[in-house]
Structure formats: C-alpha cells, structure tokens
Chains A and B, each alone.
Chain A
Amino acid sequence: MAPERSWRKTIRTGLLWGTAAIFIALVGLAEVLQKRQIITGVISGGHALLLVVALGAGVYAARQRRDERVGKRLAAGALAGAIAGVMVAALVALSTAVNFRAMIVGATPELFALLSFGRGVAALPWIALIWAGVALLGAALTLLPGRVRSALTSGLGVLLGVGLLQEQVQLLLQSDRVVRFRELIFTFDGLTPAGAVIVAVVTAFLSSVWQWQRPKVSRRVAALPPAPRRALQVVGFLAALALIIVMPLFLGPFFSQALVLVGLYTLMGLGLNLEVGFAGLLDIGFVAFFAIGAYTVGLLTSTGPLGIFHLSWWVAVMIAVVVSLISGVFFGLPILGIRGDYLAIATLGFGEIIRLLVLSDFLRPTLGGSQGVLSIPKPVLFGFEFSGPQQLFFLTLGASAIVAFVAARLRDSRLGRAWMAMREDEDVAQAMGINLVNVKLLAYGIGAVFAGVGGAIFAVMVGSIFPHSFSVLVSINVLALIIVGGLGSLPGVAVGSLFLVGLPELLREFSEFRFLVYGAALMAMMILRPEGLWPAAALRRELHEEVERVPEGELVEAPGGGGS
C-alpha cells in the first residue's frame, strides 16, 4: 500500500477513536465510572476507561500496519492516540467557551476535570501527550510475542475487573480470618497500589502458566483411554455442580439475588433460544409468556384481595405451565404463515397488547391494573421455605437444570432436527416431509412454557407483580443475551446471562447504560462475531492446534448446531 494512504488510514483511525472517546465522555459513561476507584489515589474508573480507549486506539492503529516496520507501527499507534487526545483536549478547551451543559446533561465541570486529568485547561498539551503515550504502549503491546501479550492483557483485565467490582469482592472477604489479606489488597474504596501489583502479577503468572501448560494437559487428557476420560469428565461435572450448589451459602444474599436473576434470564433465554436459535422464529414479544406465567401464579397463590384459589406454589406452577403452553400455541396459530421480519414485528405487537391489556382499567378488577398483584407467598417444600434469594437460588437452579436438560434432549431429537431444518429453509424442510404447522406450534408452545416457569419463579421472587416489569425491554434483554452467548448454543445462554444480567447487577450505578451497551453489543456481535461467545470458545478449544488449517467458512457456520 502506498505510504501516504496508510498514514491517512492511521489518521482516520485516530479520528474514529477520538470520536468514540468524546461520545463515551459526553454520554456520561466516564463520569459514572469515575465514582469508583480502581487503585486508590492512583487511578479511578473514568480515567481507566479513557486509558483503555487510548490503548485500543494504539493497538488498532498498529494492527492496521501489521506488515510494516516496527518503528512505523509504533509511530502509527502514537499518532492515532495523539489525534484522539487532541480531539479530547479540543473538547475541554471548547467547554470553557461554550456552555455544553445547556444541552447535554453529562457535560458537567467534573467531566471536564476528569478529561483533563484534574489539571484544568492549563494542561491541554498534557492530554494529547498522555493519550499518545498510552497509545504507544498499546502499539508496543502488539509487538510482543503472543504469550507475553496475553499474560499482560489478562493481568490488566483482571486488575480492572477487580478494581471496578472491589465493593463486591470485598463483601466476599468479610470474614475475620482473611482480614489481613483484605487490608493488604484493598482500601475502603479501591485497591492499594501493592494490591494492584499483586493482582496483576498473579493473574499474569497464572495466565502464562495456563497458556504454557494447556496444550500438554489437553494432549494428556486426549491420550487417556475412554473409561478414565469419561470418569474425569464426570468428576469435573460433579465438582462444578457441587461448587454451584454451595455458592449461595458463602456468597451472601446480594450475590445470590444477582444469581437468581441470572437463573431466571437463563430460563427465558433457553425458551427463546428454542424459538430463535433452533427454529429460526424471531420472537420479540417473548415477555408476554413470562408475564402470563407470573400472573397465573400470582393470581392462583396470592393471599391478597386478587388471589382466587390460594393454591400452593407447586400446584400453581403446574397450572402456569399448562396455561403458557396453551397461550403459546394460541398465539402461534394465527401467525403460522408469517415469516422473518414480519414475525418479529407481529410478536412485538402481541407482547405489547398483553402488557397494555394488563395495564388497562378494563381488566383491572381481575389483574389489578398498574397496582399489580400483591402478597404472593413464597413456596414451601417439606417444611423448607424458599424465603430469601439464597433459597430461591436453588429453585432457579433446579428449574434451569431441568429446562436445560429438556432443551438439550429436544435439540438432539427428531423434533430438534426438524426445527433446524425449518430454520435453514422452510420450503425445503416441508418438501422433506416436515409438518411445519406441528413443528412451529411446538416451538412456540415449549418456548412459552420455559418462559412461563421463569415468570412463576419471578412472581415469588419479587412477591408482588406489576405490569411495568413486563416491558419490551425484557424481551430485548433476553434476545441480546442469547445472541451474545451464541444463537442455538445452550451453554451460551448461561454465559450470555452471566455477562448481560449478572454483571450489570453488580455494577449498579452503571445500570442506566445497560441498554446502551446492549445495543452496541448486538451490533458489534452481528458484525464481528455472529456466532456468539460460547460456540467460538468451544470451537477454539477443539481446534486449538489446527486453527490455521480450518477454512474460514466452518468457523462461521457455528450459530445453529454447535456449542455443546
């Protein structure tokens, strides 16, 4: 490539990342993270975010010029960073002349103090310099050999994560026995410098050991005869199960609450995954079935004025399953002939119809309108009351396990194959003798049942249900998590809900940006990695030795089938 063109490319990269930085700043993300310290007195969340952007600019600019000499790559990184830094500096300079605050809520003096690293307008050249320096580091990162690089990045990544989540991590270290360890690593609002070094070094060390040993370990496992290998797998599975079961006992109610939500979304995700991932029926009114499950259980068990039969939760949940199955089929019937995009809009319409009906004065006498259904009792099993999040966790876990098992069996069944055939091409599937009507209705029905069970648990978790809990945002949430996890992949659903439901639960003040990040994640996922997180990881593990030899097409083909 002609040199002047490649420099132009670098300049464009710098402008792009600068725009991204300004967007992140003005939309309020940086300022929200600023409230958290990463390393007390050294670096705060907002600065860390900006520096990550700068680092990204450097890495990206250097990668663009992979084939050129080292000096040029470094210079490209520094240039891109400097351009982005100049843009940020220009924003800070402008802020003294123009009152951004009249329009943009987030353009506070604190934001500009943050952007100028607390030094005010006097330090404008510094901003560009810092950005260029960090971007240079990013470019240097690309020069390192792969193993060192991944050790460094994982060390930094875990450091950032532990720093951002320090409140929650500290909650785990409440016990007196570890108090000295805790005080070594944490202050009351962030990591200590020593703690930061320890965390980063330990992670980097573990990561490089893992990198170095993994091929050997996997070769050894592969060399084992089938029986011990099987035994190893079973032991591993049981160990994971035991870990998951005892988790809420030492994690405390706060984490358990987050885990219950993860479980609920996993349930819904499994249901939607069945419709979208297996059968290819894009449903964005999925929350309707969640609402139907929740309201059925609520009305049947409530001890409040709206409760009708005051049944036990276990009976109510059976009825909720039947009701959601019927409603799934009932909704599926009229839209049998609708395909693709139109189906998405039609189901969206259905979801909103249900919510608006529940909300209306018309059905208020039975469903409670905006006041909702109150005082739903907790389920009791053999005298054990699922009272708090720590107990409900087991309920969610049990339900998710059953549902995941059912989904896995369905996927490998005749019906599952029929769904996948239909997903690929309806007309061909029909020509092969698949009864589209039955198959589609089963997909809607079973998907609805999964969501209904989720709704039933949700009802007891919150104790009283209101229509505003069932907005279209829930459907989008579920859709986002199955896509991020990997369409059609069962473990992907759990991974997706851990990332998209669990993580935001922990970063509470971050929650108003949740959908901003989801939107970006959906677009980025579709453009960069339509197969999702989990199938890619599984594939990579399987293909570790021979990635180079696998043609590109096979890697991308994963979204449907793979993932187990």
Chain B
Amino acid sequence: MPRSQWWRRLSIVDLYLWAFRLAVILVILWGIAGTVRAARYPLSDWLDFIIFGFSQGAIYALIALGYTMVYGILRMINFAHGDIFMVGAYTAFYAARALFQRGIFNRHPFISLTVILLVAAAVSLGTALLVERVAYRPLRRAPRLIPLISAIGASFFIEYAIRGFYGSGFQSYPEFEIFKGKWTLFGVGILRTQAVVIVAAVILMTALYLFVMRTKTGTAMRSVSEDIEVAALMGINVDRIIVITFAIGGAAAGAAGVLYALVFKQVHFFMGFYPGIKAFTAAVLGGIGNIPGALLGGVALGLIESVAPILVLDGLGIVAPYQLKDVTAFIMLVMVLIFRPSGILGERLASKKA
C-alpha cells in the first residue's frame, strides 16, 4: 500500500498510531473475553442480534450504493443522500397511510408494498435529481471543499423543508397485519418484517448490480467512474450518466427509506442523518466506488453495530451498552478511515488523494 512520503519519516506519529491500533485490538479482545466468560446471553439472543444486524445492514447497503456510485463518478460525498433516504421514508409514510385508510393496505399487502416502494423510490429519485441540478451541477469544476459545503447546505435545506411541510413530530407508520410475528426457518425464529426487509434489499441490490454490470448504460457508468475525460472522448454523454447515477442512487435510497420505516415504524425529519453517516461508513468500509463493496460494508456495519455493543462493551463492564450502539458505528468509521481508507474491497483510494 503506497503512502505519502512523510508518514515514513515520522516515527513518533507512527508509534502513536501503532500504539493506538494495539490498544484498540487489546480493548476489543478484553471485552470479548469478558463477555464470553460472563456468558450472560443465551445463543438465541445472539442469533436475534445477528438477524437484526443483517436487516439493518441491508438497509445501510441500499443507502451506501448511492454514496458509492456518486463518489465513484464525481469523487464527492453526497452529504444530502441521507436526507434523500428520509424523503423516501416520508413518502412511504403518506402512501401507506393513504392505502391504509382505504383498506387496501391489509387486503393486498404485497401489492401495497410494491406500490409504496415505487412511489417512494420515484419521489426520492426526483429529489436526488433536484439536488444534483441545484446544488452540485453548477459547482462541478469548483475546488473540492465548495461542493461539499453546498451539499451540507442541501442536506439541511431538505430536512427543514420537510419539517416545515409535515411538522417536527414523529409520525408512526401503519403496520401490516401479515408481517406481525415471526416466521420459523430451520428452527430459527425471524421477525417477519426483518425477513421482508432482507429479501427486498437483496432483490433490489441484485437488480442494481445486474444493471450496472450487464447493461450498456451500466458499462458507460463504470467507464465514467474509471476516467471521466476518456469516457467523454469515447462518446459517452457524461452529464446524462451523472444524472442517471444520481437517479439510481436516489431510487435505492428511497426504497431503503420504505424498508427502514417498515422496521422502525416511525418517521421524523431528522431520521436521515444517522443512517446517512452510517451508510457512508458502510461505503468506505467496503471500499468506496465499489458496488459489491457497498453491500459487504453495509452488512458488516449492521452486524458490528448490533453485536459489538453487547460483545465488546458489555464485557468491559460498561452500563447500558446498547446506548452506545451509534458510538461503535462512529468509532468504526474513524477506525476505517485511519487504518484502511481503501476499505475491504477497494484499492482505488490509496493511490488517489482521499
């Protein structure tokens, strides 16, 4: 892994970082040992944590796709992506409520779910395109800091516009009768909503993967992310590809919003913030710019987040470890950025300026 020269000469910083790494690993091992010794949780609890982690991770992966694809092409972090996810969840809420009031919701649950998914994806797609048009396109040639700040502005604008439209309270989502309770699979009980989320996410991601890998547009997208100028020389309409990328990312985030609302059953104007950052973590973890990486990173982060608080922190004797669930995710983010900014599958970043 090539690094910039100054790292090699800085023994003190290097020492510090190595000590840091070592300390982190020791603390983690110590925590795990503590938990294992205490043996406070039966196996079925661990299975629940893991399944929850998978369903959470599937949602992160769907959001992470948008980050990763946009980064791959424009080399910028679409800070407003979490809010596009939130817009999807809000749309899902209103669509679900409308269907619920007309009684269609529980009579045809799968049709309703498909309709909700489509509507939410469409609205999120529109929002993503709007953000791209207003906040990013005029700044495509500007220095890096400038589009990022504009993205932060877009993010807050969307959040507080939604707050102005729909109010600042939590709104709770109607529940599908058919998805209540558990299904048992190979002797393991899975909450039905979680199963639905995992299946839907897998279908969506497979479709996206095939789109990017097999279609002509997908090939064009990949070539633009490889080298934007050469792609333009080859006759690819770069603007169109960028718009398509934002559209696909937005639609995936909207779908993720629906699934998130299915699991957590409430929507709020600030709900996009944490999932957005975590999905970004997932994208970095998997190797940014890399679509299978986003999938892998999402699932990995979901698992870490649901297992680590109990596995590591509980063993360290920390009270109420589940409160620190988000802290583990953020520590994960900082760790990845420090120690392996190229992620699990990516190699791109190391050679380019991060």
Are B280 and A345 in touch, CB under 8 angstroms?
Answer: yes
Measured CB to CB, the nearest residue on chain B to A103 is: B94
Are B160 and A342 in touch, CB under 8 angstroms?
Answer: no
Give the A-B pair count, Cβ closer than 8 A: 183
Q: B125 → chain A, closest Cβ, in Å?
A: 19
A6 interface residue, CB < 8 Å from B?
A: no
Measured CB to CB, the nearest residue on chain B to A352 is: B330
Are B331 and A345 in touch, CB under 8 angstroms?
Answer: no
Q: Which of B293-346 contact A (CB under 8 A)?
A: 318-321, 323-324, 326-327, 330-331, 333-334, 337-338, 341
B20 interface residue, CB < 8 Å from A?
A: yes
B155 interface residue, CB < 8 Å from A?
A: yes
Q: Which residues on A sit within 8 Å (CB–CB) of B161?
A: 23, 27, 516
From DSSP, what is the main secondary structure of chain B's interface residues? helix
Measured CB to CB, the nearest residue on chain A to B330 is: A349
Q: Which residues on B sit within 8 Å (CB–CB) of A483?
A: 149
Measured CB to CB, the nearest residue on chain A to B101 is: A102
Q: A341 → chain B, closest Cβ, in Å?
A: 5
Measured CB to CB, the nearest residue on chain A to B321 is: A362
Q: Which residues on A sit within 8 Å (CB–CB) of B160?
A: 512-516, 519
Question: Given A26-B165, A357-B327, A362-B320, are A342 and B337 also a contact pair (CB < 8 Å)?
Answer: yes
Are A337 and B167 in touch, CB under 8 angstroms?
Answer: no
Q: Which of A177-185, A520-528, A538-546 contacts B (4 or more CB under 8 A)?
A: A520-528
Are A476 and B319 in touch, CB under 8 angstroms?
Answer: no
What separation, in Å, do the CA atoms of A436 and B5 have in the docked complex? 11
A241 interface residue, CB < 8 Å from B?
A: no
Q: Which of A460-504 contact B (CB under 8 A)?
A: 472, 476, 479-480, 483
Question: Given A339-B354, A360-B324, A516-B160, are A527 and B138 also a contact pair (CB < 8 Å)?
Answer: yes
What separation, in Å, do the CA atoms of A169 and B323 have in the docked complex? 47
Are B157 and A479 in touch, CB under 8 angstroms?
Answer: no
Are A28 and B164 in touch, CB under 8 angstroms?
Answer: yes
Scoring B residues 107 to 139 as 1 if CB is less than 8 Å from chain A, else 0, what string do you get? 000000000000000000000000000110011
What separation, in Å, do the CA atoms of A103 and B168 have in the docked complex? 13
Are B331 and A353 in touch, CB under 8 angstroms?
Answer: yes
Q: Which residues on A sit within 8 Å (CB–CB) of B77?
A: 341, 344-345
Question: Given A341-B76, A350-B334, are A436 and B6 also a contact pair (CB < 8 Å)?
Answer: yes
B189 interface residue, CB < 8 Å from A?
A: no
Q: Which residues on A sit within 8 Å (CB–CB) of B3?
A: 337
Contact of A530 among B146, B166, B338 (CB under 8 A): B146
Are A340 and B142 in touch, CB under 8 angstroms?
Answer: no
What separation, in Å, do the CA atoms of A427 and B331 have in the docked complex? 28
Q: Which residues on A sit within 8 Å (CB–CB) of B324?
A: 356-357, 360, 362
Q: B60 → chain A, closest Cβ, in Å?
A: 15
Q: B24 → chain A, closest Cβ, in Å?
A: 10
Are A522 and B338 in touch, CB under 8 angstroms?
Answer: no
Q: Which residues on B sit within 8 Å (CB–CB) of A353?
A: 327, 330-331, 334
17 contacts between A and B (CB under 8 A): A29-B164, A282-B145, A282-B149, A335-B338, A341-B76, A342-B341, A345-B333, A346-B334, A349-B281, A349-B334, A353-B330, A360-B323, A430-B5, A512-B160, A516-B160, A516-B164, A519-B156
Interface residue ranges, A against B (CB under 8 Å): 23, 26-29, 103-106, 276, 280, 282, 284, 333-342, 344-346, 348-350, 352-353, 356-357, 359-362, 364, 427, 430, 436-437, 472, 476, 479-480, 483, 512-516, 518-523, 525-527, 530
New A-B pairs, 5, CB < 8 Å, besides A483-B149, A519-B152, A520-B157:
A106-B164, A333-B13, A342-B337, A346-B333, A512-B160
